[in-house]
Amino acid sequence: MAVYNNGFPIGYQPMQMPYYPQYQQSMQQPAQPQQPPTMTPPTIRADIVQVDNEQAAANYPVAVGTPQMMMAKDDSAIYVKTAYANGQYQLDVFEKRPPRPQTPPVDMGAYVTRDELEKRLSEVTGSSRRPSNSTPKEGADE
C-alpha cells in the first residue's frame, strides 16, 4: 500500500501555531508604563477658486455640506461658502486689511527730569530752593 503523506493528501501542510515573542517577553519582564501617543493636528487641504467679487462667490455652485474657499482675483478678500440641504447657504467674508502701524519708540529726551524741573522752578520763583533729592555740600552755608 502506498503512503500518502502520513494519511494526508499530497501538498497538505499542517498548521503551525504562530510564535509571539512579545507575549513571552511581557511575562519575563515587568510591564513598562505606556506613554500616550503624541497627537498631531490634522492637515487640511483645500482647493481655492478665484472669483471676481463677492457676488460671484455667492453665485458659485457648491455641493451640500462641503465648504468651498474662494479668493478675489485682486486679493482683497477670501470667501468661504457652505451650502445647506434646504437650499440656503452661508458666505463668510474675510477682507484683507493693511498691517497695523508700528508704534514709534518713546523719545525720553522730550521729557523733563526732576532736577531740571526743580532748577527751573527756583529760577521762576526767585528762591534758592535746593532739589529735594540732593544733599548739601560739606562746609557750605545755607
- Per-run averaged pLDDT (10 residues), the chain, 142 residues: 61 65 54 70 86 94 91 93 92 90 82 89 76 53 47
What per-residue confidence (pLDDT) applies to 106?
A: 82
Instruction: Specify the pTM.
Output: 0.43
Domain boundaries, the chain: 48-95
What per-residue confidence (pLDDT) applies to 142?
A: 44
What per-residue confidence (pLDDT) applies to 107?
A: 81
CB within 8 Å of 135: residues ≥ 6 apart: none
Instruction: Give the span between the Cα atoms of 99 and 93, in whole angstroms.
Output: 18
Alpha helix (H) residue ranges in 29-113: 54-59
